[in-house]
Each structure stands twice: as structure tokens, then as C-alpha cells.
Amino acid sequence: MNNLPPFYDPLLSYEDNYHQGPFGQFSHNDHLTIPMPPVINYFAGLAVNLPFGIPAGPLLNANYVKAAFAHGFDLCVYKTVRTTLHKSHPLPNVLAIHPQGRLSANIDTVLADTHYTQPVSITNSFGVPSFTPDIWQEDMADAVSAAGKGQCVIGSFQGTQGQGEIAKDYALAACLVAETKAPILEANLSCPNEGVHKLLCFDVDQVERIANEIKNAVPDRPLFLKLAYFTDDAALKRLLQKIGHIIDGISTINTLSARPVNAQGQPALGKNRPEGGVCGDAIRWASIDMVSRLAKLRDNMELKFLIIGVGGVSTFDHYQQLRAVGADAVMSATGAMWNPNLAIDIKNRLYADAKTD
């Protein structure tokens, strides 16, 4: 069992992680031997060594993206950005959680503390902070140009309430991300920490408007949507009927909401934040379920979008499970934060297995 320190330090503020990180093994990237694939893979028309990487969130800036590339994560999502400055929630932003059995999708109450034990599950609560575009555009462009052969940056973004029509703000954010030359765009429609109970991705008409605005604004870049876990197949089908032919891919899942409490039963993130998103091991069942249902609907509806499977991946077997149920690519946030060697581990296993076939 691996006990390496995470590359994002939960005890430090978001700003300190941004300026001082990444930490642990991600702080030194020399002398790494990355196993190379016997054949090159293609994802969204781009050559990738292995369709595996880190989803939106843990890679705060170009320094984090460069470390992830150096450690063999070939698809790196640059953390979600906005068209305006947006401050992070105060500490705590990350806590370990200890669900009794598997976490449900019904906002369970879970014990949260600072004891991170493998396999790690956490709650994260940041509020999707962003610097202003003049800061993140230059940095994202630096990250994009750091991609090695068979690697690529995906630029994640979202619109902000109160910036005029939300679909237009999404489109503006997409244009700003496209200017950095990020080859793939990802619109986050699933953030649970914005103070709204109904996530944007469950509002089918609004998602259709947003997808159309983005595609009209940036027609030349593959567009992925980041979706939360849908409990209901009928709702997922309705969504795909509206957007399945507009978009290029879906990345799913984001977190499952829960009520993290401390040992005294009080809200562990503070009384103003009774709920937090849970990610890591406790939600893998939901990512496998969502990807497998999405892949079946894709086939039945004769749609062509790609699927990025996200949620609870921390081993080679988890990578294989998501690929087996229909994911074209797989990503790990929590698993990678606590194991910087995860991509190397997966490649070692995959290519060793390929040689013995």
C-alpha cells in the first residue's frame, strides 16, 4: 500500500498550493522512466500514449500540469477557469472521509477528518476558484506547450452566475480557453459547491443552449461536457437526445454530494458549508454505473461521442473496469493525488500484460 504524500497539500490554502506546489514527488520530475506503449492510441483525433490522465481540479496551473506529464499522465485537464476572478472557499477545502460501506447518491452523512487512509476518499470544497483571464490564459498556454509526444492538455472552464446570460459566459470562457491553443475543451456543468442543489447538467434545455453557444463560438475544437452522476436513465436519455449530436464527448462523474461531519456530529467544512462533494474510492461504483449506462445509450441511440470515465480510480484494475464498460479514456483525481506513480503503475501492468499475451 502506497503512503506517498499528496501533490496537493490539504493543510494549506488553495493560494499557497497554487504558488508553492506541487508537493511530494511531483516537485521533482527528473530521472523518471515512463514505459512507452507498443502502439500509439488516438483520442478525439489526437495521438496519445495512453488515454489516461488527471481530470479537472488537482492540476492548478502549468507547474502541476508539467509534473503530471513528466509522471506519464498523458491527458491532463487544466483546472476549471472562469471569465472573472473567483476566490476559493476558506480552509478546510479537503478532508478525508470514512463512509460506512458504499456512499449512496442520497447525500449521506459521513465522518470527515484529517486521517487519510488507503484507499482514499475525500470531500473537496473549493467553489471553483479562478484567477482573471489575463493570468490564467498565459499560464494555460504554457501548460499546453509543455505537452510531450502523445500528450495533451484539456482546458476546463465554466460560466458564472451574475455575468449576464450564463450560456454566453460559457461561450466567452470557451473562446478564452481556445486562445491558449488547448486542443480539447471541457465545459464543467456539474459543480456541487456553488450553493445550488440542482446542478446545471440536470437542466436539459439550459445544457442544450450552452452546448450550442460554445460550439457556435468555437466550432473547431472538440467539446466535452463534464456531467454529474444521473440516477435516472430517462433523464440521461433526454439529455443525449438534445446534445448527443452537438458535442464530442462526456466526462463523468464529478463528485457525489454528502454531509461531512466531525466526531461531534458538526458540519466538518464549517456551518456555512453543510454539504461537500465526495470523490475517491467511495464513488467508484457510481462512475462505473454511469459510464456503463452512458455507453449503452450511446450504442442504442447510434451516437458517436467519446466517454471519459472518472471517479474512484486508484489502480490498474479500476482503469480496466472503466475501459471494459465503455470509457474511451480514464482519469483519476484523488487516486493520482495520493499516488503520483499511478500512470507509471498502469503502464507497467498494461505493457507487461501485452508482452505475455
Binding to ligand FMN by residue 332, rule CB under 6 A?
A: yes
Binding to ligand FMN by residue 307, rule CB under 6 A?
A: no
> By the 8 A CB rule, do 308 and 156 touch?
no
Binding to ligand FMN by residue 313, rule CB under 6 A?
A: yes
Report whether the peptide linkage leading into residue 58 is cis, meaning its omega lies within 30 degrees of zero. no
Strand pairing report for 329-331 and 109-113: unpaired
Out of 201, 279, 308, 325, the only residue in the binding site for ligand FMN (CB under 6 A) is: 279
DSSP secondary structure code for residue 267 in this structure: B
Instruction: Pick between residue 135 and residue 149 the one whose CB is nearest to ligand FMN.
Output: 135
Binding to ligand FMN by residue 22, rule CB under 6 A?
A: no
* Percent composition of the chain: helix, strand, coil (DSSP 3-state, to 5): 35, 20, 45
Instruction: Pick between residue 80 and residue 83 the one whose CB is nearest to ligand FMN.
Output: 80
| Alpha helices, H only, the chain | 14-20, 62-70, 133-145, 166-179, 204-217, 233-243, 284-300, 316-324, 334-338, 342-356
Out of 83, 124, 151, 180, the only residue in the binding site for ligand FMN (CB under 6 A) is: 124
> By the 8 A CB rule, do 257 and 278 touch?
yes
Instruction: Pick between residue 156 and residue 160 the one whose CB is nearest to ligand FMN.
Output: 156
Binding to ligand FMN by residue 310, rule CB under 6 A?
A: yes
Instruction: Pick between residue 244 and residue 312 the one whose CB is nearest to ligand FMN.
Output: 312
Counting residues that bind ligand FMN (by CB under 6 A) gives 25
Binding to ligand FMN by residue 56, rule CB under 6 A?
A: yes
CB of 187 to ligand FMN, least distance (A): 9
| Binders of ligand FMN in range 104-123 (CB under 6 A) | none
CB of 239 to ligand FMN, least distance (A): 17
Residue 249's nearest CA partner among 179, 331, 169, 333 is 331
Residue 156's nearest CA partner among 168, 166, 147, 143 is 143
DSSP secondary structure code for residue 33 in this structure: -
CB of 321 to ligand FMN, least distance (A): 13
Binding to ligand FMN by residue 99, rule CB under 6 A?
A: no
Give, for 111, the enclosing helix (H) or strand (E).
strand 109-113
Cα torsion angle, 302, 309, 255, 169, sign:
negative
Binding to ligand FMN by residue 222, rule CB under 6 A?
A: no
Instruction: Pick between residue 40 and residue 334 the one whose CB is nearest to ligand FMN.
Output: 334
CB of 46 to ligand FMN, least distance (A): 20
Phi, psi for 300 (deg, rounded to 5): -60, -35
Binding to ligand FMN by residue 48, rule CB under 6 A?
A: no
Out of 21, 51, 53, 57, the only residue in the binding site for ligand FMN (CB under 6 A) is: 57
Binding to ligand FMN by residue 193, rule CB under 6 A?
A: no
Angle CA 225–226–232, to nearest 5: 100
How far is it, in rounded angstroms, from Cα 138 to Cα 290?
Answer: 35
CB of 52 to ligand FMN, least distance (A): 12
Mask of contacts with ligand FMN, 147-186, x by CB under 6 A?
---------x------------------------------
Grid coordinates of 223 = 467539446
How far is it, in rounded angstroms, from Cα 207 to Cα 210?
Answer: 5
Q: Of 133-141, 163-171, 214-222, 308-316, which segment contacts ligand FMN by CB under 6 A?
A: 308-316
How far is it, in rounded angstroms, from Cα 168 to Cα 144?
Answer: 25
CB of 279 to ligand FMN, least distance (A): 3
Binding to ligand FMN by residue 55, rule CB under 6 A?
A: yes
Q: Which residues bind ligand FMN (CB under 6 A)?
A: 55-58, 79-80, 124, 126, 128, 156, 188, 226, 254-255, 279-280, 283, 310-313, 332-335
